Chain A
Amino acid sequence: MRRLALPIAVAALLALGGLVVVELLRPSVAPTQADQARQVAAELRCPDCQALSVAESQTASAAAIRRQIAEQLAAGQTPGQIRAYFVARYGEWILLAPPSPFAWWIPPLALVVGIGLFAWWLGRGHVAPAPAPAPPAGGVRQQIRDEVERLDA
């Protein structure tokens, strides 16, 4: 098992890299205004419900926000400008996803570090085994034999 540690770690890293490359190379289709509205609504937190996006929620507040998103897109605002509009009113709390791109790298980074630590843990048994203790000297053997005989007597 420990001999396989390095190949397993390398295979896992290659698989992860492959997924990233496939995602980056996937052809993109220009989104319609309705797609953009759905996308922005899916990224905003419903202000008066628990753990739902504006796109998912059926509350009146979510409906009002969806209406404003559609109006602003029709007026020529970009999705980024619309997100900024809501952040200026609600704070970054309104965003379901973290605003910093750095935050997206934390999970894959943690995965790579975890695989590395696991490989290190598996591989650390490859150090040379400690030498076997020397057999007891002749005098000690005789002493043990005498002790055993005395106990048996």
Chain B
Amino acid sequence: MAGPFARGSVLRWLLVPVVLVPLGWLLFTGLGSDPRNLPSPLVGKPIPVFAGTTLEGDRFSSADLAGKPAVINFWASYCIPSCVDEHPVLLDLVARHGDEVQLVGVLVNDTPDGARGFLDRYGQVSWPTMLNPDGGISIDYGVTGPPETFFVDADGVVVSRHIGPLTRALVDEGLASLGIAP
């Protein structure tokens, strides 16, 4: 019997939600997500260990971070303007919280000369910068590109990761997650 509820008609109407609902869900979840908030599998886990030479020629390792919250910042001299914009934020972080948190920089696919030129131009820093010549530290931390920053608690566990340049608000948010009042 033909009518508004004939079998073919019901099937055709069923196709609309079957197609549109998953499509809408994909668009909603895909377009609404911030590409800078890629989940890091390292969050909640101990930091990957590293050891090597700093820009000043000293030895430095992840063991030197033990017992104090740390901020590990991956950067490069070619990372313009993001790393240039971020640089004063990092200087401000150390000026305000240098006693409470250890900042360490790690170069990403960069040369020591390139990094020194950057610091000469935009301001010298008091914290160590790892050379990372074979890119092994970047791979161990799953770095997708500079700048990228990891907030690590006093037990050496990664609390959060930020992709892109830090701002003062983001620094304060990261420090708060480590139990440090802004």
Contact = CB atoms under 8 A, between A and B. Distances in A.
A90 B135 CA distance: 14
Interface of B: 8, 38-42, 48, 108-109, 134-136, 138-145
Interface stretch (A21-29, A62-70, A73-81, A144-152): A62-70
A88 interface: yes
A47 interface: yes
B134 A89 contact: no
B41 A61 contact: no
B135 A91 contact: no
B109 A89 contact: no
B139 A93 contact: no
A3 interface: no
Nearest to A117: B15
A89 B42 contact: yes
Contacts of B42: 89
Given A47-B143, A61-B109, A90 B41 contact: yes
A48 interface: yes
Interface of A is mostly: helix
Interface of B is mostly: loop
Given A47-B144, A48-B145, A124-B8, A65 B38 contact: no
Contact of B39 (A88, A91, A124): A91
B135 A64 contact: yes
Nearest to B40: A91
Interface string A81-104: 000001111110110000000000
B109 A91 contact: no
A64 B139 contact: yes
Nearest to A67: B134
Given A60-B109, A87-B41, A124-B8, A48 B139 contact: no
A30 B42 CA distance: 35
Contact of A88 (B41, B134, B135): B41
27 contacts: A47-B142, A47-B144, A60-B109, A60-B135, A61-B108, A61-B109, A61-B138, A61-B139, A61-B143, A61-B145, A64-B109, A64-B138, A64-B139, A65-B139, A67-B134, A68-B136, A89-B42, A89-B139, A89-B140, A89-B142, A90-B41, A90-B144, A91-B38, A91-B41, A93-B38, A94-B142, A124-B8
Contacts of A67: 134
A68 B39 contact: no
Nearest to A60: B109
Contacts of A68: 136, 139
B160 to A, nearest CB: 15
Ranked 6 nearest A-B pairs via Cβ: A64-B135, A60-B109, A89-B142, A90-B142, A48-B145, A47-B144
Contacts of B135: 60-61, 63-64
